[in-house]
Amino acid sequence: MTAILRRTVAALAAYLAVISVAGAHPHAWIDLRSTVVLNGDGAVAAIRVEWTFDEFYSTFVLEDIARAGEDTKTALRKVNEENLGGLRAFNYFADIRADGERIGLADATDSSLKVYKDRLRMVFTIPLETPVDPRTTLVEYAVFDPSYYIEILHFDENAITIADASSGSCSADLEKPNPDAETISLAASLGQTEIGPDNLGQLFAEVVTVRCGR
């Protein structure tokens, strides 16, 4: 299991024990919104992501905090800090590439974890170590849990934006995953404590391609 919310493992375990699909991956779901952040030179400098966790998982996390008698805002701030620490080892579940080569990522910034319409929403920015010019380089990115314990998908095509006043010549195209029947069957066969191949999550990941004046 990927350690994404260490403080709420007990709540997640209880959740998995009662849902009927606990025998198959994925076990939790995130609605994704992503923003391509361009710098003043028009280069891709960061990807900002917004994760909205499924209502069932959010409820168990919040109930766990309530049982502990903690102030919700304070507790969520602590959980958020621990999330970022755990996610750093997995490049924040982000695979960003320039002409097919993986790009190094800096530490995430501007992060928060709050309640939005009874669901937990985590927002953070993932800077690239070196900005990439999308006018001369093919920039692609995917956001996914490598283990596919958590499914992360944009909730619709409008959930991808480009942030910069000069981005009128840029577009972001979404390619949906297309795993074969054998891969789907493998994911469905994995139990709560089982781990699939290292690339399992990538096979279920969406890929966003950024094009600017190409």
Task: Say if residues 62 and 15 touch (Cβ distance below 8 Å).
Answer: no
Q: Is residue 27 part of a domain?
A: yes
197 by Cβ neighbours in 10 Å (0-12 / 13-18 / 19+) ranks as middle
CA distances from 36 to 112, 153, 170, 190 (A): 18, 16, 10, 34
For the chain, how far is it from start to end, CA to CA, in angstroms?
41
Least confident of 11-15, 73-77, 114-118, 130-134: 11-15
Least confident of 109-118, 175-184, 193-202: 193-202
Q: Please tell me the number of Cα atoms within 13 Å of 110 on its side-chain side.
A: 10
pLDDT, tens digit, 9 for 90 and up, residues 102-127: 999 999 999 999 999 999 999 999 99
pLDDT, tens digit, 9 for 90 and up, residues 70-84: 899 999 998 898 888
pLDDT, tens digit, 9 for 90 and up, residues 46-61: 999 999 999 988 998 8
Quick one: pLDDT band at residue 200, thresholds 50, 70, 90? Answer: very high
Mean pLDDT across the chain: 85
Q: Is residue 141 part of a domain?
A: yes
Where do we find the tokens 């995430």? 108
For 48, the 3-state DSSP assignment is strand
Q: Is the pLDDT of residue 11 over 80?
A: no
Q: How many Cβ atoms are within 10 Å of 204's Cβ, its own excluded?
A: 21
- The stretch 202-214 carries a mean pLDDT of 91
Q: Is residue 156 part of a domain?
A: yes
Q: Is residue 198 part of a domain?
A: yes
Q: Is residue 1 part of a domain?
A: no
Quick one: pLDDT band at residue 39, thresholds 50, 70, 90? Answer: very high
- Provide the number of structural domains found in the chain: 1
pLDDT at position 9 is 45
Quick one: pLDDT band at residue 96, thresholds 50, 70, 90? Answer: very high
Q: 9-18 and 55-67 helices cross at what angle (nearest 10)?
A: 130
Q: Is residue 53 part of a domain?
A: yes
pLDDT at position 128 is 98
pLDDT at position 15 is 45
Least confident of 114-123, 135-144, 196-205: 196-205
Quick one: pLDDT band at residue 167, thresholds 50, 70, 90? Answer: low
Look up the domain containing 90 and give its range: 6-212
